[in-house]
Amino acid sequence: MTGKKEEQVAARGRRKEEVRNRILDSLIGLLSEGGDINHDRVAERAGVGRRTVYRYFPDQAALMQPLWDRVVALAGPGVKFPGTMDEMIASLPVVYRGFDAIAGLATVVRSTPQGRAVRLAQKDRRRKSYTSVAADAVKDLPPEDRVLATALFQVLHTTPWLEMRDHWDLGGDQIARVCGWAIEVLLKDLAVRGGKPLAEGAV
């Protein structure tokens, strides 16, 4: 009897996982097409009831997080928010190759209102990560300049991909190389700048 109950529990778990994956796949499909992302459209595309979608993902924010996680997983395990400056620099080739690998989806994420909503859902996590990563490098700057420099590090780690791909026909390895160079130049300047404001130019 115990064995039968365990089998039933395992079967229910597999069914739940299957439904969850169908919902996640429908999210990716809607995002790829640039369509509105809401519970009704997800349910229709996944072939499940609206209440089922709400049971797994109770609000709009809950839809955005797994969608972000699925996009990042498709780009590869090395595509993530960095923990240290060294990790950020070392991950550049992995990040930009990952974007190349999912070029269509990565373009949608960066160029549509739906993609922007997915990215903005990670705003707090993103800012916390890069603020921690850049803290030592920017510590001597005036407070406002610390934010500016930190924001630039974050931009160089992920953001130039679409512009450089579209307008310069560059690939991930090339983009990673030049962004790595730019980060290293910034770090060298910050190392000798001390508390000199950014507005006073490079040291």
What confidence tens digit (pLDDT) does each residue in 33-69 have? 877 788 999 999 889 999 999 999 898 888 888 888 8
Instruction: Name the band, by pLDDT with cuts 50, 70 and 90, for residue 20.
Output: confident
Residues 47 and 120 in one domain: no
Q: Is residue 65 part of a domain?
A: no
Q: Are 48 and 79 in contact (CB under 8 A)?
A: no
Same domain, 34 and 109: no
Separation of alpha carbons 34 and 109, rounded Å? 9
Q: Which residue has the tokens 């709009």?
A: 60
Q: Return d(Cα 189, Cα 66) in angstroms, integer.
A: 39
Q: Are residues 48 and 89 in the same domain?
A: no
Q: Which CATH number does the domain housing residue 1 bear?
A: 1.10.10.60
- Do residues 167 and 83 share a domain? yes
Contacts of 113 (CB under 8 A, 6+ apart): none
Is the pLDDT score of 174 beyond 80?
Answer: yes
Task: Tell me the two tokens of residue 201.
Answer: 């130019």
Pick the residue with more confidence: 154 or 13?
Answer: 154
Same domain (yes/no): 104, 189: yes
pLDDT greater than 70 at residue 28: yes
Say whether pLDDT at 1 is over 60: no
Instruction: Please give the DSSP secondary-structure letter assigned to residue 102.
Output: T
Look at residue 68 and tell me if it is in a domain. Answer: no
- 54 and 121 belong to one structural domain: no
In this structure, are 53 and 85 located in the same domain? no
Please tell me whether residues 90 and 190 are part of one structural domain. Answer: yes
**Domain final residue pick, 32, 58, 84:** 58
- pLDDT tens-digit map of 121-138: 899 999 999 999 999 999
Closest CA to 46 of 64, 59, 27: 27
Q: Considering the domain boundaries, does residue 66 fall inside one? A: no
Residue 170 has pLDDT above 70, yes or no: yes
Residue 182 lies in a domain: yes
Q: Which of 180, 197, 3, 191 is nearest to 89 (CA)?
A: 180
Q: Are residues 94 and 121 in the same domain?
A: yes
194 located within any domain: yes
pLDDT in tens, 62-116: 888 888 888 899 999 889 999 999 999 999 999 999 999 999 989 988 888 888 8
Confidence band of 197 (pLDDT split at 50, 70, 90): very high
Confidence label for 2 from pLDDT (cuts 50, 70 and 90): low
What is the number of structural domains in the chain? 2
Q: What is the pTM of this model?
A: 0.83
Average pLDDT over residues 162-190: 97
Task: State how far the alpha carbon of 176 is from the alpha carbons of 31, 121, 151, 158, in Å.
Answer: 26, 25, 18, 9
Residue-range definition of the domain harbouring residue 21: 1-58
Q: Same structural domain for residues 38 and 113?
A: no
Q: Does residue 44 share a domain with residue 105?
A: no
Which tokens go with 96?
């930009």
Pick the residue with more confidence: 197 or 35?
Answer: 197
User: Of 83, 82, 70, 102, which is closest to residue 157 (Cα–Cα)?
Assistant: 82
pLDDT at residue 114, as a whole number: 87
